[in-house]
Amino acid sequence: MESQEQIGPNDQIQTTHQAQQALPSDREKIETIRAELPVTRRYLYFNAGTNGPLPTRSHDALVASSARDLSEGRIGSAAFTRLLQNLGDARIALASVLQCDPTEIALTHNTTEGMNIALMGLRWQPGDEVVTSVAEHPGGLYPVYLLHQRYGVTIRMTQIALPGRDPLEELRSVLSPRTRAVVLSHVSWATGMTLPVRELADLAHSVGALFICDAAQAAGMVPSNVYELGVDAYACSGQKWLCGPDGTGALFVRRDRFGDIQQTFMGYFGIQPGMSDHEGHYVPANSAQRYEISTVSPAGLRALQASLRWLGEEIGWNWVYQRIATLGRYCYDALSTLDGVTMLTPRDHMAGLVHFRVEGIASSELTTQLEAAGILIRDTHDPEANRISTGFYNTEEEIDHLRQAIAQIAQIHTVQLTQAPE
């Protein structure tokens, strides 16, 4: 592996990791998984939180779809039947990940689109309140700012998901009879904290507010049983932990919330067939298809389905979730024993995101230096940190190697810093 050659043999560092190693029976499985993800041979791939690795079969589905478009064309009755089948199958596949009825799934192009659809759908009045957190991603946060600008909605900002904050206490302290929606992530992109979504949603409901959940980091990383979570809307992306292509995603809206979340956009599937007239009367589609904004790339949906079949039917979701969480803790324990490293992620409330700071080196610099060593992580900036995503395809050895690389880079930097004043 390229990157391993860059760390010298003298850089061995004893690890005292508490989390358990992969079982021997898992080793073969992990090898098979990695063979399907060519990029894992090129890099130590620790950034599913931005984009997951693409499986060969999903790439092949993209290419096959494109080849058929080329040779057979994209029109004609057979092509249209194929398209409808593809859209329907994609909704079923995504519904099985979120454990809901396929009629509660709207196909989207990404999480941000889903958050916008859900948030813009409420009948907002000036003085209504929306609760969110400074730690939310712009994909959910900026639509909240738009509500403020456009409708005079009051934003009740919290510190939920930041280190040392109790999410339930934070939420309790800002809820009021005017709260119309609570907008929070299932897993925080900024600290890696997994939020107690069920309890938060129950609190939101106790004042009559909807719970609109950003699941960009959750779907494919942790179990996403939307009924058990009690969410009203749940928006996710295909390209991250689900290992699908860009431009795919889903929005779950609970059927009994269709009346609360109005349509903001109107597309081909927005109206029940035959139920409109030219005066503008219409009956919305009797499913979450009412929220869909035109066509999602058919090739992309085929590729996403290939990824989901692989994850769900061959590898198994329970195994995926457990492996990600086991590696997350292994990584946490590995890094927390390094001098000068401060962990930001709460170990008791985490899964596959590990946030940390290394004393004396800017987070962006650490990302850059690791990339030069063939290791892909990212830096996040509010709060300032580096973030590792532990994928089900990673290994304990890769994490040990990452730890060594961080230790080595931090040491080099320390030397440079102490030399600088001379």
Ligand X SMILES: Cc1ncc(COP(=O)(O)O)c(C=O)c1O
Per CB under 6 A, residues contacting ligand X are 50, 110-112, 137, 139-140, 185, 189, 214, 216-217, 237, 249
Shortest Å distance, C-beta 235 to ligand X: 8
Nearer to ligand X, 213 or 285 (CB): 213
Minimum separation from the CB atom of position 70 to ligand X (A): 28
The torsion angles phi and psi of 342, rounded to 5 degrees, stand at: -110, 130
Q: Which is nearer to ligand X, 215 or 407 (CB)?
A: 215
> Residues with Cβ < 8 Å from 311, sequence gap 6 or more?
220, 242, 243, 317, 320
Q: Which is nearer to ligand X, 3 or 239 (CB)?
A: 239
Least distance in angstroms from the C-beta of 76 to ligand X: 32
Q: Which is nearer to ligand X, 185 or 305 (CB)?
A: 185
What amino acid occupies position 368? T
User: Toward ligand X, which CB reaches closer, 175 or 183?
Assistant: 183
Task: Tell me how crowded residue 215 is: count the other CB atoms within 10 A of its CB.
Answer: 33
Least Å distance, CB 251 to ligand X, is: 11
Indicate the DSSP class of residue 249.
Answer: E
* Nearer CB in complex with ligand X: 102/249: 249
Q: How far is the CB of 64 from ligand X (least distance, A)?
A: 25
CA angle 185, 354, 301 (to 5 degrees): 55
Q: Which is nearer to ligand X, 122 or 141 (CB)?
A: 141
| Dihedral sign, Cα of residue 319, residue 320, residue 321, residue 324 | positive
CB of residue 379 to ligand X, shortest distance in Å: 13
Contact present, 99 and 225 (Cβ < 8 Å):
yes
Minimum distance, C-beta of residue 242 to ligand X, in the bound complex (Å): 11
Helix (H, G, I), strand (E, B) or coil at 351: coil
- Considering the complex, state which of residue 251 and residue 338 has its C-beta at the smaller distance from ligand X: 251
The CA-atom distances, in angstroms, between 60 and each of 65, 88, 237, 309 are 8, 21, 20, 14
Q: Identify the bridge partners of residue 342 per DSSP, sorted by sequence position.
A: 357
Residues in the chain: 422
Q: What is the largest CA-CA distance in the chain?
A: 80
Annotate 73-95 with b (16+ C-beta within 10 A) or e (fewer). eeeeeeeeebeeebbeebbebbb
Q: Quick one: 356 or 404, whose CB is closer to ligand X?
A: 356
CA distances from 97 to 226, 227, 252 (A): 10, 12, 11
| Beta carbon of residue 417, minimum distance to ligand X (angstroms, whole number) | 31
Torsion over CA of 147, 150, 156 and 158, rounded to 10 degrees? 50
| Minimum separation from the CB atom of position 147 to ligand X (A) | 17
Helix (H, G, I), strand (E, B) or coil at 265: coil
**The residue to which tokens 């699908």 are assigned:** 244
- The alpha-carbon radius of gyration of the chain (Å, integer) is 23
